[in-house]
A = this chain, B = another copy of it.
Amino acid sequence: MRNKDFILKGHICYSENSETLTIMEDSYLVCVDGISKGVFREIPEAYRNLPMKDYSGHLVMPGLTDLHVHAPQYAFRGLGMDWELLEWLNTQTFPEESKYGDEEYARKAYRIFAEDLKRSGTTRAAVFATIHVPGTEILMEELELAGVTAYVGKVNMDRNSPEYLIEETKASAEATRRWLSDLKEKEAAGNGFRHVKPILTPRFIPSCTDELMRLLAEIQKEYHLPVQSHLSENFGEIAWVKELCPEAEFYGDAYDRFGLFGEEAPAIMAHCVHSGEREIQRMKERGVYVAHCPQSNTNLSSGIAPIRRYLNEGIHVGLGSDVAGGHSLSIFRAITDAIQESKLRWRLCDDSLKPLTVEEAFYLGTMGGGSFFGRAGSFLEGYEVDALVLDESRMRHPQELTVRERLERFLYLCGDQDVLHKFAARESIF
């Protein structure tokens, strides 16, 4: 149902910035052509005729952004959890990803992923597919159907990968061009995707030769594509990159040498758990987006990223589920995981970096990641309206709660299954 002009009534909760969480009780969010006109205690004269969706008593908040998720790994979420990163890639990830060369399997698996994402609180996502072009297009179709605004990447990998899941260097670049020109053609014919766009996706440095990176950089310039990849997740991985790219100053420089680190177009780098000083400064200079994936970093024993430091530096940070390094697709869960892990980091590693607050983690899950998509993840005037109506009525309590308390409890104890209605991509999703 197209539903671009409306007013939402409820307890409206949204971030203004990383520190300020605004809660407007019994208020009105005015949405015109999918864009917020602001939140008001009383409906302004000019909007009195708009249809009203009355969710009085309910919490209403912006949709969540998943800044890093591997769609083909959704099938094995919550399995093989006793492995570390590099072993886990070989035993779990690569064998499953190889199946997505089969279009029938890809359709079946990606439909499950997209339908579950549709029912979740996530409205925007940056998604890894696999090396397979038809499978990647199937994923894009399924996400479009699910009403998720997404960047989707055909993965590139031409070295250090099993023979059943590897590309020749030139063939990898050519396949990427074929995919992109196919999307262009569809668009030109009026059959393009409305909410799903391509993003360059070299898997990570160990999987991509310099020559492939050079070819991808050419493609980036030609198509003006953003890029997503992985950075400084795990000590073994970092040592490996150092060995593979002795000429790079640090891990991130191995992307930056090719202009694939935010110089030409925005870049999302997942993890950044162990980034050193020079890498952090380069991330800042290039406007890199950190996709913080606390659950995955815990499951794979990677460590805890210094998110407080990144916020202090003014680096962009959003949250990622990193399914299936993370087992849960829920960005609500990522919000509380981010707080919890920051507390352990403060206690165990560095007590100069204070734990994240509820306000800050809420920001990361909404506006922090949302800003990669433009003006998204808030209800400030001019923002695209992705909205969730929450229902935490199953949480029983003997005492009165404030709206702020209800929101905090929702984040910790409720989740995707407690989203009553979802508005995204200028439509009512459910």
Contact = CB atoms under 8 A, between A and B. Distances in A.
Nearest to A357: B82
Contacts of A355: 82, 301
A343 B85 CA distance: 12
Interface size class of A (residues with CB under 8 A): 35 or more
A77 B347 contact: no
A329 to B, nearest CB: 9
A268 B94 CA distance: 45
A217 to B, nearest CB: 34
A258 to B, nearest CB: 31
A89 interface: no
A79 B105 CA distance: 43
B112 A343 contact: no
Interface string A294-319: 01001111111000000000000000
A257 to B, nearest CB: 30
A104 to B, nearest CB: 10
A78 B404 CA distance: 12
Contacts of A357: 82
Nearest to A345: B348
Interface centre among A77, A302, A347 (most CB of B within 10 A): A347
A142 to B, nearest CB: 12
B81 A358 contact: yes
Contacts of A413: 77-78, 327-328
A298 B340 contact: yes
A409 interface: yes
Interface string A55-99: 000000000000000000001111111100000000000001001
A398 interface: yes
A316 B327 CA distance: 29
Interface string A269-284: 0000000000000000
A409 B304 contact: no
A396 interface: yes
Interface string A333-355: 00010011101111111000001
Among A78, A298, A300, A405, max chain B CB count under 10 A is at A78
B78 A409 contact: yes
B398 A347 contact: no
Contacts of A79: 401, 405, 408-409
A409 B77 contact: yes
Contacts of A96: 399
B347 A349 contact: no
Nearest to A327: B412
> Would you list the 5 A-B pairs with minimal beta carbon distance, nearest first?
A78-B412, A109-B398, A78-B409, A301-B343, A327-B412
